Structures are given as structure tokens and as C-alpha cells.
């Protein structure tokens, strides 16, 4: 980690001299590093696939953990239609910050679904799902939020009347309260919640915040919240997909005055049945912008039931009213299950679940710049 950080500092200093940002992520699909995406890169990718070369992360254009013909199709489509191709202007890759070994687990153990909160001293505390272990805590070593120390596991005190299926709490999303935190998480195919005043012990609140029947879907992911200008909250969530072979999911939303009782918004925000964006929108994270707009980041894969056949990856869309999302952009950010936290200095960090064939699951971070890749607005 120290060597990596020293190298970033070196690039920053050289960039200051040259007037360039050398710490920015490379242009997705630019495999020869000449800052242009063209047929030369396509030929390199074809050769890579034909000769079954060792995994090369920058060649995995759709971020599915392998380099194959789907990546060739994505590269070709980006060259033919540059406006639909991902750019790198909206983010800087900070790399993987946490590994399973940091949690005392062997490499390959699933860790993911990072969520977090800004502390009073400027540091960031993350809450991360660890397979078969529940939710664990990790705290940043400083206010930059780019290096973390694992603190230990959280403890959930379940509500017996609610926790009927006994499923472990997963995909956590935390929200600050005046006297602690509320955590939303997946439970009994819906969205449950628990509160904590010490960030360690969590007491489950009775009942589900949103049931699958209320949402009109078989099972939900956990929702992320934005504050509404007139008071109250809006939560965004998607239908749960168990495998990539499952049909396309929809992104929906609900509103609440107290975070406990929720009323579904009519219709679909993104996905089959939406008025504009028929994309398979999975595991969304919503962020309220200072100008009142709402940006959502979500993972897209081609799936049955969706007319969208473009390249997969993490997309972003910004809505003026938080309800209508009419255009989206492929960000090129590697990973899924995003969560954005604003640092004390105002910079936005996105933490994601990330994986590659060599190291397996891990936690990645990117520094968002400008619109964070959400070039498309309503």
C-alpha cells in the first residue's frame, strides 16, 4: 500500500510540472496507452482472446472477471459509437483498499456491499458484509479515507417476530441519526432496519420497512436514501437478482417521513416498464446533489426482459425530480454495489465491491470528480 501511495504522489508531482493529471484512471478500452481508443486496441484485444493470455484487468471491459468475445464486442461498439463509450473524466481509481485477509478470512472469501458514515473527527467508518460472518467495521486512518484498519464485527440483536427466515443481514446501508445510526439491510426478501448508538451493537426494529409484496417484486435489494427538499426521504432499491441468468430487474422508489413507514412511488424508475431507461438496473445507490438533482449509480448486465443490449458495467443517471431518469452514461468505474460518501473537505469517495480472478473479492475506492461519470441528465 505504501509503495502504491508513493507512486501516486510521484505521478501527482510530475503532473503538476507538465500540467497534466497523471493520476486519472486510464481511458477504458485504451489497451496500448496512447490515450486513443481505436482499431489498434481492438486488434490487441482480439489477440489477447485468441491466444488465451493471462488475465489482464484493463482488457476486461465489462468487468465480469474474464476477457472474452463480449469484451471484443464492447470495444468494437465503443469505437463505432464513441458517444456511448465510457470516459475517465469523472473519477480517479484509488485501487483496492481492503482484502478478505484484513478480516481474518482466506483469499477468495466474499466481502462486499460497503457502506459508511463520516465521523465527527473527519474519518470514515465503513460497514462491510463478510460472507458467513455478517457485517464488520473498518475505520479510515485519516480524513482522506484511502487507507483503512479493520475494527471487528458488528452484533445484531434480531427481532424474533420479524426475523422469520433467519437469513443473515446483508447488503447494509447506514444513515446517520441524531443519536446514532440506522442500518437498512436485506431480510426475509424485503428491507429491514436496525439502530445502534455505538456502531457495534445493532437492535433490529420490528417489522420490515418494505415488504416484497408492497414493492410488487419477489425480493428486494437494500435501499439507499436521499433527503427530500420538503422534508422526508426517498429510498431507491432494485429487485434482487440471484444469478446473471435471471431476468432483468427494475429499480423502484418509496417515500417516508420517518424512515420507518414507507409508501411506494408509482411506476418504475429504471428497467422494464420505465418510461425511458429500459436497463437491467441492479443494486442502485442514490446521492442527492447540492442543486437538488439526484444521481443514481447502478450495475447493468444484458438480461432477458430488457430491450437494452449495450455494454455492461456501472452506469449513472441524474434526474431533476428524483423520479424521471431519461438518459444514462456508462462510467467505466470497475465494480458494483456502490456507496458514495462525502468527505469533510467535500470530495466524494465511492466505495465498491470489486473482484478479479487473481485476488478474488475486495473493496475498491474511486474519487469522483465533476459529475462522477453521470454525464447524462434528464
For residue 331, give its domain range: 91-368
Give the pLDDT confidence of 138-181 residue by residue, as tens digits.
999 999 999 999 999 999 999 988 877 766 688 999 999 999 99
- Would strands 329-330 and 294-300 be described as parallel, antiparallel, or unpaired? unpaired
Are 78 and 97 contained in the same domain?
Answer: no
Beta carbons of 134 and 184 less than 8 angstroms apart? no
Beta carbons of 210 and 223 less than 8 angstroms apart? yes
Q: Which of 84, 106, 132 is a domain's end point? A: 84
Q: What is the pLDDT of residue 332?
A: 85
pTM of the model: 0.79
256 or 10, greater pLDDT: 256
Are 154 and 108 contained in the same domain?
Answer: yes
Q: Is there a domain that residue 2 lies in? A: no
Give the pLDDT confidence of 332-361 residue by residue, as tens digits.
888 999 999 999 999 999 999 998 878 899
Report the distance separating Cα 162 and Cα 209, nearest Å. Answer: 11
Number of domains in the chain: 2
Q: Is there a domain that residue 19 lies in? A: no
Are 101 and 71 contained in the same domain?
Answer: no
Average pLDDT on 14-32 reads 53
Q: Is there a domain that residue 341 lies in? A: yes
Q: Is there a domain that residue 238 lies in? A: yes
Give the pLDDT confidence of 263-305 residue by residue, as tens digits.
999 999 999 999 999 999 999 999 999 999 999 999 998 899 9
Q: Which of 50, 69, 84 is a domain's end point? A: 84
Are 342 and 283 contained in the same domain?
Answer: yes
Are 37 and 183 contained in the same domain?
Answer: no
Q: Check whether 5 has a pLDDT greater than 70.
A: no
Largest CA distance in the chain: 63
Q: Is there a domain that residue 376 lies in? A: no
Q: What is the pLDDT of residue 53?
A: 66
Are 34 and 131 contained in the same domain?
Answer: no
Q: What is the pLDDT of residue 16?
A: 44
Lowest pLDDT segment from 121-125, 161-165, 253-257, 342-346: 161-165
Q: Is 115 left (phi over 0), alpha (psi -120 to 50) or beta?
A: beta
Q: Which of 47, 65, 84 is a domain's end point? A: 84
Band the pLDDT of 372: cuts 50, 70, 90: low
CATH of the domain at 59: 1.10.1330.10
Q: Check whether 75 has a pLDDT greater than 80.
A: yes
Q: Is there a domain that residue 9 lies in? A: no
Are 78 and 198 contained in the same domain?
Answer: no
Band the pLDDT of 81: cuts 50, 70, 90: confident
Average pLDDT on 21-45 reads 72
Q: Is there a domain that residue 156 lies in? A: yes
Q: Is there a domain that residue 6 lies in? A: no
Strand partners, 181: 176, 196
Q: What is the pLDDT of residue 359?
A: 86
Are 51 and 105 contained in the same domain?
Answer: no
Q: What is the pLDDT of residue 374?
A: 67
Are 178 and 313 contained in the same domain?
Answer: yes
C-alpha cell at 174: 447506514
Are 258 and 298 contained in the same domain?
Answer: yes
Are 35 and 60 contained in the same domain?
Answer: yes
Report the distance separating Cα 341 and Cα 357, nearest Å. Answer: 28
Are 64 and 137 contained in the same domain?
Answer: no
Q: What is the pLDDT of residue 57?
A: 66
Residue-by-residue DSSP string for 132-176: TTEEEEEEESSTT-SSEEEEEE-EEE--TTT--S-PPPEEEEEEE
The torsion angles phi and psi of 16, rounded to 5 degrees, stand at -60, -40
The torsion angles phi and psi of 15, rounded to 5 degrees, stand at -60, -35
CATH of the domain at 194: 2.115.10.20
Report the distance separating Cα 37 and Cα 147, nearest Å. Answer: 33
Average model confidence (pLDDT) across the chain: 87
Over its C-alpha atoms, the chain yields an Rg (Å, rounded) of 20
Amino acid at each position: 500500500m505504501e509503495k502504491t501511495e508513493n507512486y501516486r504522489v510521484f505521478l501527482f508531482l510530475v503532473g503538476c510540472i507538465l500540467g497534466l493529471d497523471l493520476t486519472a484512471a486510464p481511458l477504458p478500452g485504451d489497451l496500448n496507452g496512447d490515450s486513443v481508443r481505436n482499431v489498434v486496441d481492438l486488434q490487441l484485444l482480439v489477440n489477447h482472446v485468441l491466444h488465451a493470455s493471462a488475465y489482464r484487468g484493463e482488457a476486461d471491459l465489462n468487468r465480469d472477471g474474464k476477457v472474452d468475445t463480449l469484451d471484443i464486442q464492447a470495444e468494437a461498439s465503443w469505437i463505432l459509437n464513441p458517444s456511448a463509450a465510457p470516459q475517465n473524466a469523472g473519477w480517479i481509481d484509488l485501487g483496492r483498499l481492503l482484502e478478505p485477509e484484513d478480516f481474518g478470512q482466506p483469499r477468495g472469501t466474499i466481502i462486499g456491499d460497503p457502506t459508511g458514515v463520516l465521523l465527527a473527527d473527519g474519518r470514515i467508518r465503513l460497514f462491510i458484509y463478510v460472507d458467513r460472518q455478517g457485517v464488520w467495521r473498518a475505520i479510515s486512518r485519516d480524513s482522506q479515507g484511502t487507507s483503512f484498519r479493520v475494527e471487528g464485527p458488528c452484533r445484531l440483536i434480531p427481532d424474533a417476530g420479524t426475523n422469520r427466515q433467519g437469513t443473515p443481514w446483508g447488503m447494509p446501508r447506514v444513515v446517520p441519526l441524531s443519536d446514532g445510526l440506522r442500518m437498512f439491510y436485506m431480510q426475509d426478501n424485503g428491507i429491514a432496519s436496525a439502530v445502534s448508538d455505538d456502531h457495534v451493537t445493532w437492535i433490529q426494529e420490528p417489522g420490515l420497512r418494505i415488504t416484497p409484496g408492497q414493492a410488487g417484486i419477489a425480493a428486494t435489494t437494500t435501499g439507499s436514501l436521499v433527503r427530500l427538499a420538503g422534508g422526508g426521504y426517498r429510498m431507491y432499491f432494485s429487485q434482487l437478482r440471484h444469478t446473471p441468468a435471471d431476468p432483468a430487474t427494475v429499480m423502484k422508489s418509496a417515500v417516508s417521513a420517518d424512515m420507518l413507514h414507507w409508501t411506494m412511488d408509482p411506476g418504475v424508475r429504471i428497467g422494464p416498464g420505465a418510461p425511458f431507461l429500459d436497463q437491467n438496473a441492479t443494486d442502485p445507490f442514490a446521492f442527492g446533489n447540492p442543486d437538488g438533482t439526484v444521481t443514481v449509480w447502478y450495475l447493468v448486465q444484458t438480461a432477458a426482459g430488457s430491450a437494452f443490449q449495450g455494454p455492461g458495467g456501472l452506469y449513472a443517471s441524474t434526474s431533476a425530480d428524483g423520479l424521471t431518469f431519461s438518459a444514462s452514461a456508462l462510467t467505466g468505474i470497475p465494480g458494483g454495489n456502490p456507496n458514495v460518501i462525502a468527505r469533510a473537505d467535500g470530495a466524494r469517495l465511492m466505495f465498491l465491491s470489486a473482484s478479479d480472478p487473481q485476488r478474488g473479492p475486495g473493496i475498491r475506492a474511486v474519487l469522483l470528480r465533476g459529475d462522477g461519470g453521470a454525464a447524462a441528465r434528464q
